[in-house]
Structure formats: structure tokens, C-alpha cells
Amino acid sequence: MSWQEKVKNLMNDRGINQKQLSQLSGITESSVSRYLRSERRPRLDIVVNFAKAFGVATEYLLDDGEESKASAYETISTAIARKGGELTAEEKNELIALLLGSKADV
């Protein structure tokens, strides 16, 4: 299940609409709509905001069982680059493992 489907299911389960999700997450209503229609790919911080709005782990939204490690690697690398930071390949792999829940000990 994609992260968008998970968000839509959470919205349905909790009886909230896109406007309410926008208010809970601090993301504009138009952006929420675009993310849910897959017109825009969210940055990691956006997914974190959605997770916080629902009180779920970010990993729950990100782990769709199909997302490749390369795609997660690219997303994280982009987020780090935007913040002006640099991580080694090993640090990036550790971060990916943590985000995807494949490393139990933190």
C-alpha cells in the first residue's frame, strides 16, 4: 500500500477531510491535495508532518513493501542536500535502515 493510500485510510478512519489534515499538518490544503493525488512527491519533512498529524510512525507511511532502497536513498540524500549537510554512504545507509524499520537497535 502506498503512503498516499495509508494517509487516505487514516483520514477515513478518523473522519477528517483534506482541509482538516492541512490544519493538523501545517501543509497547505492545495499541497495536501497534490500529494494525495501523486502530483507532487513529498520531501521527508512533509511525510514527517503527515505522520505527526495522525500520531503514527513515519516508517509506517514510508514502508509500502515496494519502495526500493535506492528510492529511499535518493529522497534522504535530497533532504540532506537541501539542508546543506553531507553524510557518508554508510551514514545514509544507516539512516535508511532506521527509517524503514530494518534496524531495531538505535
Quickly state the pLDDT bin for 105 (edges 50, 70, 90): very low
List the chain domain ranges.
Answer: 3-62, 69-99
Quickly state the pLDDT bin for 103 (edges 50, 70, 90): very low
Q: 18: helix, coil or strand? A: helix
Q: Which amino acid is at 60?
A: Y
Mean pLDDT on 80-105: 68
Half-sphere exposure for 75 (CA within 13 Å, toward CB): 19
Per-residue pLDDT tens over the stretch 80-89: 777 677 777 7
Cell numbers at 103, concatenated:
534496524
DSSP secondary structure string, 27-90?
Answer: --HHHHHHHHTTSSPPPHHHHHHHHHHHT--HHHHH--S---HHHHHHHHHHHHHHTT----HH
Distances in whole angstroms, Cα of residue 19 to Cα of each of 11, 27, 33, 49, 104 = 11, 10, 9, 14, 36
C-alpha 106/C-alpha 98 separation (Å) is 8
Per-residue pLDDT tens over the stretch 51-68: 999 999 888 888 766 555
The more confidently predicted of residues 4 and 73 is 4
Quickly state the pLDDT bin for 70 (edges 50, 70, 90): low
Per-residue pLDDT tens over the stretch 9-47: 999 999 999 999 999 999 999 999 999 998 988 888 898
What CATH architecture is 3-62?
Answer: Orthogonal Bundle (1.10)
